Amino acid sequence: MITGASSGIGRGLAVTAANRGAHVGLIARRASVLDEVIAEIKGNGGTALPITADVQDAERLRAAAQELAKEFGPIETLIANAGTGTTTHAAQLQPSEVENVIQVNVFGVANSVAAVLPEMLERKRGHLVAISSLAAYRGLPKSGAYCASKAAVSALFESLRIDLRDSGIEVTTIYPGFIKTRLTANRGYMPYLMEVDYAVDKIIGAIERRKRSYSFPWQLATIVRAGLVLPGAMYDWIAKRNSYRE
């Protein structure tokens, strides 16, 4: 079950997983675009089911999970991928914009987990995967809402991983860097910008290896981790001059 499966990373994950033999449930809001993804998957001999749903709607997601399980059997893996972002300077901060990012990126992940977790617990088997971001580590310029949402997702999944230890359910948090999608289009300088196909291969590999967490590309991940130990004044100076340069 993959949320946000109509475009970008979600679409790439859906197509790749189906090509590797998985029965894939595609969750997204845009039915017409989902149909295009389904056509691509079936054209390659894969099996997939499109389900129109908004991750902000917990009841609809729960129904979608049940529909998928009825079609293909128990859900083995959830990839909570649906997300959104903004590039807004603090001077133009809009609470409604922040609320939307948090609703989609954080509550959307929580709703997705709640939709599949009860059956996984019953079977003592399953794999929960969340697509976070290297932006979760520290705040970036013009990205307050996005960074806050991904930090929340990371903390949520770390807590889930601890709670679900020895339950038979594995928990993976993925921390990608910048990926060339519509969300990153026209956002200025982004170091180590990756193509979707490259990112998808890295993510699928981490899922298959049952990694607890996986950060990439390693160059940017190393820089970001180093930023965690920098004094605040030094981090501010570096971040201001190197993030999202026009």
Positions marked catalytic: 146
Whether residue 85 contacts residue 178, with contact meaning beta carbons closer than 8 Å, is answered with no
Query: Helices H, strands E: what count in the chain?
Result: 9, 7
Choose among 123, 106, 132, 107: nearest CA to 69. 123
Residue showing tokens 């990756």: 194
HSE of 34, CA atoms in CB hemisphere, 13 A: 18
Sheet holding 169-176, edge to edge: 47-52, 23-28, 2-3, 77-80, 126-131, 169-176, 213-216
DSSP 106: I
HSE of 202, CA atoms in CB hemisphere, 13 A: 20
Reduced to 3 states (helix: H, G, I; strand: E, B; else coil), residue 25 is strand
- Torsion sign (Cα): 144, 149, 154, 160: positive
